[in-house]
Amino acid sequence: MKIIYNILFTIFFFLSAPYYFIKLLRRGNWKSKFPERFGIYDKSVKDELRGKNKKIWIHAVSVGEANIAIRLIKDLSQKLPGYNFVISTTTSTGMEVLCKNLPENINKIYYPIDFPFCVNRAVNTISPELIVIVEAEIWPNLLWTAEKRNIPVALVNARLSEKSYRGYKRFGFIFRQLFSKFSAVGCQDEFDRQRLIELGCNPQNITITGNIKFDAAYPPKEAKLDAHKLLKQIGVSAEAPILIGGSTHNGEEEILAKIAQKLGAKQKDLFLILVPRHFERTKEVENVLKNLNMPYILRTEINEALKISCPPQCLLVNTTGELRDFYRCATVVFVGKSLTAKGGQNPIEPAALGKPIIFGPNMQNFSAIARAFLEGKAAIQVSNADELEKAIDTLLENPEQRKKLGENAIMVIQKNSGAVMKTIDMLCKLIET
């Protein structure tokens, strides 16, 4: 089994390497810690890690999982004061979030490519007592290595999209054996529990903890960025309605820009904020706005010395880690990757701020969350661009409806909170055994 997997993975790696390397180049800063992707760490990192006892290794693939891991670490460090934490991520944006939100004493590394020699080097360097995987990042060589060394592995906030579920079932001859190796699994609901059992998890090792994203969504009292001040600086009035497209994907920016132009005729000073999911798409989105003759400004162009002669109609956010702060200014929020792309993005952050949210038909990666908001009358789901325009228009015209949606959203979040403590209890029991 291991031989077959490693042969297939090697072939896939070399075939897909050019694509992923181009992605690294586009995102920039790829040279930083690049050897870590092969389990090669600086001497200073090795010395620091080897000087620490009782280590818990948490892996969070990207930004969403990183935010969950940050919340877990903050609470776990209080519950387990004698333990040290190492956190890994796969993406440069995930690393940026970790570095911004976690103290220096917590080691932040890139997760190694799933070759046996890379994983072995990483495990040798970290020497963890427990490995925690956030959501559904299943890497066979990590699980095999952990089993060989008697290191328990926990899967927390387990999430199975329809696509992932079908994929794991299709390759059940590999993954049933792997899912059985988890010492503890925290899943979001009974539906996911049944699916995890089908995939090979031991039912006795599964705990329904709920979704940590609901707990992690509560905004800090003080924002890191004063988005209101920034908008004022570029000429946006305090009374202007703000339409935000959060974590948008290809095609959605054009739809939102056209809607903003059309509705701007009756909504005085309507201002659009676009926050693409991948900031390296900035040039692509700029071209869309130029073709529509929509005046815009880039987030990185705004500084203390900036003087605006003609206020723009759109702010294009080409930075990372600031979306939540911009959500604070929103009148209406559209959650991206749900109209022209599949999967959806997390609607919890704007909901936690009491904002009225709209998303498209494709929320496969957040189906349980989307269902909770819809059942709680806390969000609007649309099927196409025309319905999106009507929904935005209706909300802009009806402040009472906006208020009600926001209040309902906060109620849904409060109802679903508590997953962090259930997860921590599960992990502590695992450490104690």
The whole-chain average pLDDT of the chain stands at 91
Tell me how far apart the alpha carbons of residues 152 and 171 are, in angstroms, rounded to a whole number. Answer: 24
Q: Are residues 197 and 297 in the same domain?
A: no
Q: Does one domain contain both 324 and 395?
A: yes
User: Looking at the domain assignment, is residue 152 inside a domain?
Assistant: yes
Q: What pLDDT shows up at residue 188? A: 86
pLDDT, greater one: 184 or 171: 184
CATH of the domain at 375: 3.40.50.2000
User: Are both 106 and 124 inside the same structural domain?
Assistant: yes
Q: Please check whether residue 128 lies inside any domain of the structure.
A: yes
What's the rounded Cα separation, in Å, for the pair 66 and 95? 8
Q: How far is CA 211 from the centre of its chain?
A: 13
Give CA–CA dist 341/375, Å, rounded. 23
Cα atoms found within 13 Å of the Cα of residue 225, Cβ hemisphere only: 20
- Distance (Å, whole) CA 123 – CA 149: 10
What pLDDT, on a 0 to 100 scale, did the predictor assign at position 1? 75
Number of other residues whose CB lies within 10 A of the CB of residue 82: 7
176-217 per-position pLDDT tens digit: 999 999 999 999 888 899 999 999 999 999 999 999 989 877
CATH number at residue 49: 3.40.50.11720
Question: Residue 29's pLDDT is what?
Answer: 67
**Least confident span in 25-29, 38-42, 95-99, 138-142:** 25-29
Label residue 30 by pLDDT band (50, 70, 90).
Answer: low
Total domains in the chain come to 2
- Do residue 386 and residue 310 come from a single domain? yes
For residue 19, tell me if it sits in a domain: no
In this prediction, residue 401 carries a pLDDT of 98
Q: pTM of the prediction? A: 0.80
In this structure, are 194 and 270 located in the same domain?
no
Give a yes or no: residue 9 inside a domain. no
Structure-block tokens of residue 292: 């529509």
Q: Are residues 198 and 64 in the same domain?
A: yes
- At residue 281 the predicted structure's pLDDT band, cuts being 50, 70 and 90, is very high
Q: What is the tens place of the pLDDT at every residue in 209-222? A: 999 989 877 777 77
In terms of domains, do 82 and 145 share one?
yes
| Same domain as 109, residue 54 | yes
User: Do residues 128 and 265 both lie within one domain?
Assistant: no
Q: Which residues sit opposite 55 in a β-bridge?
A: 84
Which comes out higher in pLDDT, residue 375 or 221? 375
261 or 321, higher pLDDT: 261
Question: How far is it, in rounded angstroms, from Cα 357 to Cα 415?
Answer: 18
pLDDT digits (tens, 9 = 90+) for 93-139: 889 889 988 998 899 999 999 999 999 999 999 999 999 999 877 89
Res. 229: pLDDT tops 80: yes
Range of the domain at 339: 227-415
Res 217: pLDDT: 76
In this prediction, residues 235-240 reach a mean pLDDT of 93
- Separation in Å, CA 253 to CA 31, 280, 314: 30, 14, 11
Structural domain includes residue 241: yes
Amino acid found at 257: A
Could you tell me if 369 and 381 lie in one domain? yes
Longest dimension (CA), the chain: 66
Residues 344 and 422 in one domain: no
**pLDDT tens-digit readout, 377-424:** 999 999 999 999 999 999 999 999 999 999 999 999 999 999 999 999
**pLDDT surpasses 80 at 278:** yes
pLDDT at site 368: 86
Does 311 score more than 90 pLDDT?
no
Tally Cβ neighbours within 10 Å of residue 59. 23
Is the same domain home to 270 and 333? yes
Residue 194: its pLDDT value, please? 93
pLDDT for residue 433 is more than 70: no
